[in-house]
Structure formats: C-alpha cells, structure tokens
Amino acid sequence: MSNPRVAGAGVTKFGKHPERTGRDLFAEAGLEALDQSGVDPDDVDALFYGNFMGELAEHQGHQGPLMAEAIGLDVPATRFEAACASAGATVRAAVKDLRNGEADVIVVGGAERMTNIGTAAATDALAIAADDLYEVRAGMTFPGAYALMARSYFEAYGGSREDLAHIAVKNHEHALVNDHAQIQKEITVEDALEAPTIASPLGLYDSCPITDGAAAAVLTSEAYAEDHGLDAPVAVSGTGQGGDNLALQDRDHFAQTPAADKAAREAYADAGVSAADVDVAEVHDCFTIAEVLAIESLGLYERGEGITAATDGETSRHGDLPVNLSGGLKAKGHPVGATGVAQLATIAWVLDGSHPRADAVEDGRVGVCHNAGGTVASTTVHVLEVAE
C-alpha cells in the first residue's frame, strides 16, 4: 500500500493569545505548512479541519470553509469533531483518501481558541466531551474525569503522585528548547507535588494548560510527492482509530484505555510494525496519568509498568524510548482541536532531523502519535516512518 507523505507542517506558538481569532491562528499554521511543502496551492484537493469548542468559544460553527478561505483555498472543507482527538481524525481521513486515489493533496489541521473565555468557561466547555446527563451533571470536569482514572490506576496497579510528578518534570524539561511550547520552564518533583490540587489526586502540574493555537500539515500521495520532487522524507505508514463508551461509568474498568489499544493494534498492523520497532512517541498527556495509560495502550509498556517509566528515566530524551520530546500537551500546551496534527508535525520533524530535540533519537526510523478524545472514548494512532 502506498503511504502518504508529510510534505510540510506548520504550528503556531502555543499559549495565551486571547485577542487572536481562530481564523488568524489557523491561517498562520496553514500558510506555514503550505509554504514549507512546496505544493502549488491549486493542487490541494481538500481541507480537513479539527475544532472542538468553536461554538462556545467564538460563537462560530461551520468552520471548515472559513478556514479554507483563511489559507487561500477554494476546496471542499469539512470540520472534524472528536473532542481532543479532532485533528487526529483529520489525519486518518486524509490518509484514507490519499491512499485510495480520491485525492493527491490534502491539508489537515486544526485550531482552538480557549483563553478568551476564561478558565471557568473553558472548564465548562471541555467538560462537555463527557456524558452530559450522567457525568457533567454529577459535577465531572475534564481534570475530574482523569482524576477518577488516576485513582483507579493506583488502586489496580500501584504508583504514586510522585511518579506522576516525574512525568510533568520530564515533559517540562523537553519543552525548554521548543519555541512553539506554551511553558518553557523547568520544574521539580517538589514543585509538582506542592502545587494546588485541581481534582484529587491530580494537582495543577498534573494538568495541561488552557491553550490557544493551531497546527496544520500538507499530506500528499506518495506518487504526487515523487512526481513533484517534494522534499518529504517522512510517510504516514499506519492509521488506527478506536472507540469506547462515552461515560466512564459504562466501562469495565477505568485504569485502561481500550479505545487506544484498538487504535494502536490497527495502526501497527497497517504499518507492518510492532511496538518494539517504535523509536519515539508523542502521546496525549492532557494529564500526567494520561501519558501512563497511553504508553501502556501503545504496547510500549506492560499494564501497570508505564507508571514508573518517567521516574526511571526511560521516557526522557536521554532514555531508550523518548516520549513527548515536544514537551507534550503538559508543557507544549493543548489547543484541543489542533493537538493531533501538532503531534504529527513533531514526529515528522524528529524523524527528518529538524526538531530541536531530534538528537534524542539519532537514526530514528519509526515514530508514533497517540491522540485521545475526552476520557479516551475516541483515539487515533498514527505510525510515521522515514520513507527515503
């Protein structure tokens, strides 16, 4: 099967830009991706665009055509919404269309404007990724949901808040040289443990910040990249997506993420690789515990063993399997609808050697992106490989 190429990617500085509209954020990322790709904009066949809370944050629905216009494209443009996995879903849809010959060039990406509405309203908007009747009305927040999962994990497998703190410390350290990152500040385990609690057992430093930002990538068919002599050495070789009951209460257990298990199995099989082949990963660490659940679902760690990976230094940039070299959602920030494509951009840049942390994985060939929606009721996993 032919594997689509990442021809270019663009990511805005993630952070607090309350005065910048979603369309302005996406235009910056999208134009950067197009410029970097060397693709003639007339050759773009479609825009697949991810966004979660546009109606609440900007009173703006129907963002697909708006964003196409913002980057100078007159193409079919569709918005994908899968909570925090919205952008991952755009990548998956594009890979399928590029493989089956429906298209030669697709722009994928997403944007989220969140800080303009303030913390309380953003907390409210994020919460609606959960079940309104049975979770939101029981006071569930997004951090609260992951807190429920963290406590279940500790109960099932052990681990401590200190192990979670090591994940935050690692991801903050990784972000120090990432100029796209929202937080470029080193923290200590003590800082994390002493930070105010948001939803016990999770504290402020277990949580990603509220972020404005956008990310975009130009994906092309393999044939298009070859015919046009594009500098596009990284291919998307595997795609997978899994689902689960929306409400935590309807699942068998809360210390595993079966939607991610399914997505990973499918993506690895599609790419013809196994977890053992993975050199580097960007995973959805909206909360520190989420990184643990992710690396276990990806098969990088056995159940119950992911919790100590950061404590033991294995997932740091000096370790055998660097996770979240970008700083992750924790330090890089999490503009919800953009995250999945920001992960793709990071892995592409790490594999082509242009990322500031690329030296952590010299001669890396295989990277994986894990993008989770809500309490992991949606997950996409993509495998990226050096193709040439």
What is the per-residue binding string for another protein in 112-131, x denoting contact by CB under 8 A? -------xxx-xx--x----
Whether 62 is a known active-site residue: answer no
Cα distance between residue 102 and residue 93, in whole Å = 11
**Under the criterion CB under 8 A, does residue 160 sit at the interface with another protein?**
no
Q: Which of 100, 158, 194, 200 binds another protein (CB under 8 A)?
A: 200
**Under the criterion CB under 8 A, does residue 195 sit at the interface with another protein?**
no
Cα distance between residue 360 and residue 13, in whole Å = 22
Q: 202 or 281, CB closer to another protein?
A: 202
User: Which are the contacts of 139, defined by CB distance < 8 A and separation ≥ 6?
Assistant: none
Q: 120 or 276, CB closer to another protein?
A: 120
Q: Least CB distance from residue 139 to another protein, whole Å?
A: 5
From the list 135, 131, 205, 140, the residue with the least C-alpha distance to 170 is 205
Q: Least CB distance from residue 77 to another protein, whole Å?
A: 29
Peptide bond just before 201 cis, omega within 30 deg: yes
Read off the DSSP letter of residue 13.
P
Q: Least CB distance from residue 377 to another protein, whole Å?
A: 12
Total residues at interface with another protein (CB under 8 A): 36
**Under the criterion CB under 8 A, does residue 289 sit at the interface with another protein?**
no
Q: Least CB distance from residue 211 to another protein, whole Å?
A: 16
Cα distance between residue 214 and residue 351, in whole Å = 21
Q: Least CB distance from residue 196 to another protein, whole Å?
A: 7
Q: Which of 62, 96, 137, 318 binds another protein (CB under 8 A)?
A: 137
Read off the DSSP letter of residue 6.
E
Q: Which of 201, 299, 353, 356 binds another protein (CB under 8 A)?
A: 201
- Is residue 286 within 8 A of residue 142, CB to CB? The reply is yes
| Cα diameter, the chain | 56
Q: Least CB distance from residue 200 to another protein, whole Å?
A: 4
**Under the criterion CB under 8 A, does residue 100 sit at the interface with another protein?**
no
Determine whether 95 is exposed, middle or buried from the number of CB atoms within 10 Å of its CB (0-12, 13-18, 19+). buried
Q: List own/partner pairs for 55-64 with CB under 8 A and 24 or more apart.
A: 56/117, 56/121, 56/124, 56/125, 57/22, 57/112, 57/113, 57/114, 57/116, 57/117, 57/121, 57/122, 57/125, 58/21, 58/22, 58/113, 58/116, 60/22, 63/22
Q: 132 or 231, CB closer to another protein?
A: 132
Q: 336 or 361, CB closer to another protein?
A: 336
Q: Which of 199, 286, 298, 300 binds another protein (CB under 8 A)?
A: 199
**Under the criterion CB under 8 A, does residue 196 sit at the interface with another protein?**
yes
Q: 333 or 367, CB closer to another protein?
A: 333
Whether 286 is a known active-site residue: answer no
Count of beta carbons in the 10 Å neighbourhood of residue 20: 18
Cα distance between residue 67 and residue 64, in whole Å = 5
Amino acid, res. 264: A
User: Which of 174, 180, 334, 370 is flagged as catalytic?
Assistant: 334
**Under the criterion CB under 8 A, does residue 141 sit at the interface with another protein?**
yes
**Under the criterion CB under 8 A, does residue 228 sit at the interface with another protein?**
no
Q: Least CB distance from residue 74 to another protein, whole Å?
A: 36
Please identify which residue in the block is written with the tokens 């952070």.
15
Residues 19-78 that bind another protein (CB under 8 A): none
Strand 213-220, strand 105-112: pairing: antiparallel
From the list 300, 335, 334, the residue with the least C-alpha distance to 320 is 300
Q: Which of 148, 293, 309, 377 binds another protein (CB under 8 A)?
A: 148
Positions touching another protein (CB under 8 A) are: 119-121, 123-124, 127, 133-141, 143-144, 147-149, 151-152, 155, 196-202, 245, 247-250, 254
Q: Which residues are catalytic?
A: 84, 334
